[in-house]
Chain A
Amino acid sequence: NAGVMQNPRHLVRRRGQEARLRCSPMKGHSHVYWYRQLPEEGLKFMVYLQKENIIDESGMPKERFSAEFPKEGPSILRIQQVVRGDSAAYFCASSPPQPATQYFGPGTRLTVL
């Protein structure tokens, strides 16, 4: 039973480029969450999605960031016009219907040059 999968594991972008981070939830899980982790910090919630619906995006920056979880395929976190401050580890978690434990993927480490 595969766990949460994320790709790429490492992503390097120059300022102004776009970053696309992908997350495939665990089998049977229909809820996806994205978190950001800065060095030596805890994880900060960004967005919670179910298939084709954004449930809670209270942690998402108002500009440049978007997320989707289509009917088919992985969840995507998209960052447009990246800046150096976007450099961080981005983790995806999934869970079965609420309330339930969230299981995390290995993360994508984004570096903006």
Chain B
Amino acid sequence: GESVGLHLPTLSVQEGDNSIINCAYSNSASDYFIWYKQESGKGPQFIIDIRSNMDKRQGQRVTVLLNKTVKHLSLQIAATQPGDSAVYFCAVLSGYSTLTFGKGTMLLVSP
């Protein structure tokens, strides 16, 4: 089955810096990837997704990069703000419908 891992459980940055959160997956057949943000006491919030036929996708202040060769996914947040402080999960679609989540990276943004 699919396994998803994150490289760093906690990332501390200064306000205004760029943040990069990484994720690795195991199944080379995976074709859909999502980043979620989870604030304390809340449900995961969709940030951005990418399909395997792309290697980069940009949103507002966020960019997702997909490297299928090494099965690696990253989320870049530009000009990180205190409101970006949360736990970030990558999720990979396994099979028909199942999302497999990594354990999450806690992003701490200090002013």
Contact = CB atoms under 8 A, between A and B. Distances in A.
Contact of A102 (B4, B99, B103, B104): B99
Interface in B78-111: 89, 91, 93, 95-104
Interface in A21-44: 31, 33, 35, 40-44
Contact of B46 (A56, A59, A103): A103
Contacts of A44: 101
Interface residues of A, number: 27
B46 A42 contact: no
B101 A56 contact: no
Contact of A104 (B44, B96, B102, B103): B44
Size bin of chain B's contact surface: 20 to 34
B27 to A, nearest CB: 14
B61 interface: no
Contacts of A59: 98
Contacts of A31: 97
A45 B100 contact: yes
Nearest to A56: B97
B43 A56 contact: no
Contacts of B98: 45, 48, 56, 58-59
Given A56-B97, A58-B98, A42 B43 contact: no
Nearest to A46: B98
Interface of A: 4, 6, 31, 33, 35, 40-45, 48, 55-56, 58-59, 91, 93, 98-99, 101-107
